[in-house]
Amino acid sequence: MKAHAAAAALEYVESGMILGLGSGSTAEIFIEQLGAALKTGALSGIRGVPTSAMTERAAQGAGVPLMPADQASRIDLTIDGADEVDGRFRLIKGGGGCLLREKIIAHASDRMIVVVDETKLVEMLGAFPLPVEVDPFAFTITAKKVFDALRASGAPRCDVALRRRGDGLEPFVTDGGHFILDCACGELPDPEAAARRLAAIPGVMEHGLFIGLARTVIVGEEDGAEVLEI
């Protein structure tokens, strides 16, 4: 399903584009397919701006030429995955812990195309715990503020957990040196209010609500892909 979504997204790529390269398994499948199209000559002159160290490695492995993010002043198109997508193309992202860089790049892009499998489509955001990237300094204070913000924006509950590395001992640290708080709310009835309240907390570097950024969502299915536009 992910490969079908990625293949459909590749149709939107034109030679010479500066491409934002998202993070996660679906984005990596897209990067492999992009690398293959560059090898056959079907596409040329592409430069990719990676949203994480993982993506940078994947792009290097696939033979996709890269442009360092600090040399990019604009981006034609970003292709990225998502953890949840609702009917208004509001997203939860950050399952891979790359949300700050993903949002910087998505925001700088003329267009963002989201590639997901159909399991990511939801009626209401929030079953997937919302990732919030925070400065490690005084993160317990920030976590309390995050809890208050999400409850005040209508979340029926909110369990805030510091994300840990695979070994379960040390905190997970993002490429930018931040921590991630995973906020299990069950439902987020007012994502805009949640986004506004989270953005106002000093220790919050960025939150995983991507609102108003995606205009195209490509949904991979068993036998193809559906392109949704708003």
- The residues of the shown chain that bind ligand 5RP, judged by CB under 6 A, are 22-27, 80-83, 93-99, 102
Closest contact distance (angstroms) between CB of 116 and ligand 5RP is 7
Distance, CA of 83 to chain centre: 8
- Tell me whether residue 102 is one of the annotated catalytic residues: yes
Nearer to ligand 5RP, 138 or 228 (CB): 228
Residues 58, 101 contacting (CB under 8 angstroms): no
C-alpha closest to that of 83 among 146, 132, 125, 21: 125
| Catalytic member of 56, 84, 102, 133 | 102
Tell me the C-alpha to C-alpha distance, in Å, between residue 57 and each of 42, 53, 62, 181, 182.
22, 6, 9, 25, 26
By CB neighbour count within 10 A (0-12 exposed, 13-18 middle, 19+ buried), where does 40 fall? exposed
Residues 13, 19 contacting (CB under 8 angstroms): yes
Residue matched to tokens 């925001």: 107
Closest contact distance (angstroms) between CB of 132 and ligand 5RP is 12
Residues 94, 53 contacting (CB under 8 angstroms): no
Nearer to ligand 5RP, 129 or 203 (CB): 129
Closest contact distance (angstroms) between CB of 41 and ligand 5RP is 28
Closest contact distance (angstroms) between CB of 22 and ligand 5RP is 6
Query: Cα separation of 30 and 131, whole Å?
Result: 23
Nearer to ligand 5RP, 148 or 226 (CB): 226
| Residue 57: other Cβ atoms inside 10 A | 12
Query: Cα separation of 113 and 131, whole Å?
Result: 21
Nearer to ligand 5RP, 92 or 160 (CB): 92
Closest contact distance (angstroms) between CB of 110 and ligand 5RP is 19
Nearer to ligand 5RP, 42 or 53 (CB): 53
Q: Supply the residues annotated as catalytic.
A: 102
